Amino acid sequence: MSDEKNTADLIADLERRIETMQNMGDAELGTFSRADWIFLILVSIVIPVIVAVIAR
C-alpha cells in the first residue's frame, strides 16, 4: 500500500511541476535565438568530424 501511495504522490508532484513549467513565460525560461541555432548546428557538425578524424 505504501508503494501505491508513493507512486501517487510522485505522479501528483510531477503533474504540478509540468503545470508550473507550462505556465512559465519566456521571461522565466529565456528565449531561443538565431545564435543558439547556429551554435547547435556548428556543434552538431564539428564534433562528429573531430571524432571521425581522431578515430582514423
Residue type, 31: T
Rounded to 5°, angle at Cα 21 from 16 and 24:
130
Amino acid 41: pLDDT? 92
Amino acid 9: pLDDT? 94
Q: Which residues of the chain have pLDDT under 70?
A: 1
Instruction: Report the Cα–Cα distance between both ends of the chain, in Å, rounded.
Output: 57
Amino acid 6: pLDDT? 92
